[in-house]
Structure 1
Amino acid sequence: MAGTIQTPQPNGDAPSRRGIYFLTHPRSASNLFQTMMSKQPGYQNSGYKLFDAGFATLAQLEQGKVSEMLEEEREKLYEMFRTAFGKLEDELDDCAKNGKQAFIKEHTLFLSAPDKISSSAYPGDNPPLLTVYRRNEPHDANTIYTNPTSVPDSFLLSLQPIFIIRHPILMFPSMLRTQKGWRPDPHPSSPYCRIFLNLRHSRALYDWYLEHGASADIMPRVIDADDIMLNPAAERQLCEQTGLHADNVQYEWDERKIETPRQARFLGTISASRGIKPGLEAKGKSLEEEREKWVQEFGEEDAEDLARFVNDAMEDYKYLHSKRTTGDLVEA
């Protein structure tokens, strides 16, 4: 799909070519976007290096606060995050060895270590601080941490961030459905689920990039799931803004076999598709109508909780939505 930039967007020029940090939220159509970008020339695709450490922390939240764990058990959890961050650096080293840029996907929440996630789930909890360092930097007090995650500023500023958002009216119930497939009787108000039923971590990190990114020639970018499905011009403009190649965006692909039932819960839609499926966008949906469907699917109490979480998340969603790449300056 050919496209022509008509007028420059403020801060719209692509930075000098660098790796992409694709910052996601569960059920945000991130697998669709990653599939569409899977054949970008010169990029090495990877992701979820912090995934296992993050979900181990979420499992702990069901048992209680991280500060209340036995010291030995807490240290095991902390070591999982340190090891995962090391694997993230290994991936960047491998990209450099192969002469490629990284295209790394990560849930934004999982950039926070167990101490920060616990404090978010249980306000007032104050576990021992976990600090990680880049292997090529001194392990001392000179390492700068002004960002809201647990990784150093220098790491975040080494990659071009792309945030994906999706309307909570679709994202949150979808998250609950996937949990019901492999967790016993999950509810929106449980510590495990409610930590994901907001967009505050994405907004906080986006705002940090706005404040600190200019020093590294970085402008954070936002793409909405509806635009991925309905607006090729937005995808094209996003490529122009981030150094990706618009002509290599994929709109058709082969079906894939998923190896495990758990993976199938998260990847079933994209793995069974050969392209963008119609009817999965949020456009035209209302909270009142969706809540009635949730009552039938989840029961009255969970439907009420879901509606409350969706309503509470709308301020952050609307804010990030206002910052998204729209494609208005591109002819698709």
Structure 2
Amino acid sequence: MPSQIILFDQSRSASHLLAKVLSKQPKLEKLHSLYSACRGKQVEWLTSDDWENGMAEADYSAFKASARTATADKILLIHDHPFSSAHPEHVQSFINSSSTIPSIPENFTSIPDTLLLHTNTIPVLTIRDPRLAVSSAYRVLTSFGFSHGSGRPNFLISTTLPMVIDADDIMTDPGYCRFVCEKLDLEPELACIDWEKITEEEKANIHPMLYASQMGLLESTGLDASRAAKNLDFVVEEKKWDDEFGDDVPMVREMVESGIPHYQYLRERRLRM
């Protein structure tokens, strides 16, 4: 049995749906978004005029201190974006690289190798077709007035992890959800396949950013195969972008095209039944 599962989620890859599927497992103690407190310093740095000079030492010290506090003596289900824990130098290499896949042979996160490579650690990476992941991330960012640059590097992240889970497989197949539980040494019969829709009272008390980023899940009552990439007509979907994204459509298309090779590479290596 693993002692910890580290869930690295590509932005907008149905990772919260996967977490929902695992939510009834008595063995799991969820530790969500360890590095979320550090993210503010990242955004401030990457949206500043002198971002190319690197993160200021004082900010980096605060970044590390926040990470140390968040991760002290914690184990089990750890769920966060891989980019949130990245060292500033590695962030710059992702942005500045002329290659479609930046060459970083070492561990680029702030999670120590002793934990990441521990024999009782199962790393998981959720992925999703970039035509859905990028456009969805853009909608969430702009709905709260964030500049698209604050999230741009997230679209370019690449990494290799032992267990890759595609959003389509989770959305379309309850049997696959149970299979994932089995592979994680959890109880397949306790996979959460349906649930209650969020109530108006719960909605009134939830943070607006949390609601915006998880609206599809919160307003649903179970797995929704209609949202899977394989069940969508992307000629129709991409035509909607002109009205939604206006002058930023070229940026969205650029990020989609940048993400496609990463997605295809990882999808070929995804967990299969």
Asked if TM exceeds 0.5, the reply is: yes
Matched positions, count: 260
Indicate yes or no: 2:133 matched with 1:197.
Answer: no
What is the letter of the counterpart of residue 236 of structure 1? R
Distance 1:292 1:274 in 2: 29
**CA deviation map 1:279-317 (0-9, x unaligned):** 211114455443321012111x42222122212211110
Contact (CA 8 Å) 1:28, 1:225: kept in 2 or not?
A: yes
Instruction: Give the equivalent residue in structure 2 for 1:80.
Output: 63
Deviation by residue 1:42-81 (Cα, 9 ceiling, x = unmatched): 210121010121243023211144563785xx32343233
Q: Is the 8 A contact 2:54 2:89 kept in 1?
A: no
- Asked if 2 retains the 8 angstrom alpha-carbon contact of 1:165 and 1:222, the reply is yes
State the partner residue of 2:194: 252
Counterpart for residue 256 of structure 2 = 310
Deviations 1:30-52 (A, max 9, x none): 11110110111221012101012
CA contact (8 A) 2:83 2:157 kept: no
Amino acid aligned to 2:85: L
For residue 274 of structure 1, the aligned residue among 191, 206, 221 is 221
1:124-273 to 2 correspondence within 5 Å? 146-158=106-118, 159-184=121-146, 186-187=147-148, 190=149, 192-200=150-158, 204-206=159-161, 220-256=162-198, 257-258=202-203, 259-273=206-220
Distance 1:49 1:250 in 2: 24
Unaligned runs of 5+ in 1: 1-15, 93-101, 125-144, 207-219, 328-332
After TM superposition, give the deviation of residue 91 of structure 1 in Å.
2.3
For normalisation by structure 2, the TM-score amounts to 0.85
The normalised TM-score by structure 1 is 0.71
Q: Please, which runs of 5 or more residues in structure 2 have no aligned partner? A: 99-104
Q: SS at the partner of 1:162?
A: strand
Give aligned-pair identity as a percent.
25
What are the superposed Cα offsets for residues 94-140 of structure 1, whole Å, 9 maximum, x if unpaired?
Answer: xxxxxxxx11111111221333224433459xxxxxxxxxxxxxxxx
Deviations 1:191-245 (A, max 9, x none): x232022342xxx242xxxxxxxxxxxxx11111111011223223222322122
The answer to whether the 8 A contact 2:55-2:88 is kept is: no
- CA–CA distance in 2 between the matches of 1:146 and 1:155? 14
Whether the 8 Å contact between 2:45 and 2:51 is mirrored in structure 1 is yes
Map of 1:68 onto structure 2: 53
Q: Which has the larger radius of gyration?
A: 1
Structure 1's 183 and 81: CA in aligned 2 closer, same or farther, altered over 3 A? farther
The answer to whether the 8 Å contact 2:34/2:71 transfers is yes
Q: Retained in 2: the 8 A contact 1:121–1:195?
A: yes
